[in-house]
Amino acid sequence: MAKKKMPAVLVWIIDILLIAVAAAIYSVGLVAFISPNNIAPGGATGIAIIISELTSLPIGMLIAAINVPLIIAGFFLLNKKTMIKTLISVVLISVLTDYVLVDMPLYDMENAEGILAAVFGGVLTGAGVGLTYAREATSGGTDIVAKIINRFRPDFKLGQIQFAADAVVILAGLLVFRDLNAALYAVIVVFVQSKLVDMLVYGGHESRFLLIFSQHPQEIADKLLKQDRGVTLLQGKGAYSGAERPVIATAVYKSDYMKVKRLIRETDPAAFVITTGAHEVLGEGFQKLT
């Protein structure tokens, strides 16, 4: 008996609730560990911390202001559902940072080990980003920039774009705060964040290769094609039933894996999917074959 599809409204409610939890976890890491110690770990958050140091403006407000033009661009160039969820995430992080968590205890690395501030800040913010990604959203900032650049230049890996952006922000933080230790701690935060996101959402692999066995192969293939995914239909035959049915083969970047997984589940909840990590995918839509 085929499983019933979850109502779209219920899926949205679950997504928003989990995004809210993710925003709270991220904000705790930012308020308690990262911002009090002048750590600017890249992205919109790092830029906001640097500007706050120069202007004394609230960090949450700056995060929102930085993300406004990026989210507007994202609505035109990226998936609108993703951008709606991203907008909700950014608003929640901004409000929590400036108004809700202002009285929580802060970890001051002047009187303790700075490495703990970097590690715990990275773990909490990384967990927040990972949960947000899992619901097909982003936390804004360089995530949006990376996706827009990757859309026009798919040979540029998302990780490479984000690393370059984070490196610029960390360098700017070093120039503003004039604290080499804080800059090094920012590198640790970025490293911990990326590893935790990989572990929670993507399993640490850059890409995913999927074999999809379904009663509705053409419907799934058509939906994947509409999202500009490369799809190959392999001819399969059941050893027990003898029935012939196409098997869908596709490869996706790790940042798009959860979206494809949900698409399959919504189209055919009874589908059988084999997923394996792909260290490198070369060709159209991915890194150029050189």
Q: Which mean pLDDT values do the consecutive 10-residue runs of the chain (290 residues) have?
A: 67 92 95 91 91 94 94 88 92 94 80 78 91 82 79 68 84 90 90 80 66 90 84 84 86 80 88 80 63
What pLDDT does residue 286 have? 64
Alpha-carbon separation of residue 73 from 68, 78, 91, 125, 272 (angstroms): 9, 8, 17, 24, 37
Distance (Å, whole) CA 23 – CA 39: 19
**Spatial CA neighbour of 252 closest among 198, 222, 210, 199:** 210
219 phi, psi to nearest 5 deg: -65, -45
**Spatial CA neighbour of 48 closest among 105, 94, 107:** 94
CA angle 71, 78, 289 (to 5 degrees): 130
Q: Where are the beta strands (DSSP E) in the chain?
A: 207-213, 231-237, 244-253, 272-278
What pLDDT does residue 240 have? 75
CA angle 39, 31, 125 (to 5 degrees): 75
Class for domain 207-278, per CATH? alpha beta
What pLDDT does residue 204 have? 47
Domain regions of the chain by residue span: 8-202, 207-278
Residue at token pair 């804080």: 182
Note the pLDDT tens digit of each residue in 10-47. 889 999 999 999 999 999 999 999 999 889 988 899 99
Using an 8 Å Cβ cutoff, are 75 and 83 in contact?
yes
What pLDDT does residue 147 have? 76
Distance (Å, whole) CA 38 – CA 210: 43
What pLDDT does residue 241 have? 77
What pLDDT does residue 134 have? 79
What pLDDT does residue 284 have? 66
What pLDDT does residue 205 have? 45
What pLDDT does residue 30 have? 94
Distance (Å, whole) CA 174 – CA 193: 20
Q: Which amino acid is residue 153, in one-letter code?
A: R
253 phi, psi to nearest 5 deg: -65, 150
What pLDDT does residue 2 have? 47
What pLDDT does residue 4 have? 61
What pLDDT does residue 19 have? 94
What pLDDT does residue 157 have? 63
What pLDDT does residue 256 have? 78
What is the layout of strands, in order, in the sheet containing 244-253?
231-237, 244-253, 207-213, 272-278
CA angle 198, 289, 259 (to 5 degrees): 35
